């Protein structure tokens, strides 16, 4: 994926052909347009995306980083209820052993 100022372009690795183009919204959401489908990200998915981007830190720490503007373009993150992050669960299991 190659990033452009206000969007992104996804190229086929073998041919270099443009597969999908997308625009970036003010809330750092990429709306991809190409072929027959469009891709949107739900708010709950965005919370988990930032959780993964920031190395699986706790949501309370992500909210603190958002409040103090430590990470550029980090939106307000709400703490999702009943959300299980499988990599975090596996890591907790490995630490306990």
- Residue of 47, 64, 69 whose CA lies nearest to 56: 47
- At residue 35, the pLDDT reads 55
Supply the DSSP symbol for 93.
H
Query: For the residues 29-33, what does the mean pLDDT come to?
Result: 77
Q: Between the CA atoms of 89, 27, 72 and 47, what dihedral angle is there, to the nearest 10 degrees? A: -10
- At residue 40, the pLDDT reads 54
Q: Would residue 28 be called left, alpha or beta, if left means φ above 0 and alpha means ψ between -120 and 50 degrees?
A: left
> Does the structure show a pLDDT above 80 at 53?
yes
Residue with tokens 């975090």: 88
State how far the Cα of 77 lies from the Cα of 64, in Å rounded to an integer.
Answer: 9
> Does the structure show a pLDDT above 50 at 4?
no
- The tokens describing 30, both together, are 């990429």
Domain residue spans in the chain?
A: 2-39, 43-96
State how far the Cα of 10 lies from the Cα of 21, in Å rounded to an integer.
Answer: 6
> Does the structure show a pLDDT above 50 at 18?
yes
- 96 falls in which pLDDT band (50, 70, 90)? low
Question: Is the pTM above the cut of 0.75?
Answer: no
């Amino acid at each position: 994926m190659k990033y452009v100022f206000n969007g992104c372009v996804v190229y086929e690795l073998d041919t270099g052909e443009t597969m999908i183009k997308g625009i970036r919204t003010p809330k750092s959401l990429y709306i991809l347009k190409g072929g027959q489908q469009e891709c949107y990200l739900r708010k709950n998915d965005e919370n988990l995306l930032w959780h993964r981007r920031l190395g699986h830190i706790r949501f309370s720490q992500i909210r603190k980083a958002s409040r103090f503007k430590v990470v550029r373009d980090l939106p307000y993150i709400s703490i999702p209820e009943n959300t299980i992050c499988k990599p975090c669960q596996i890591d907790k299991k490995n630490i306990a052993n």
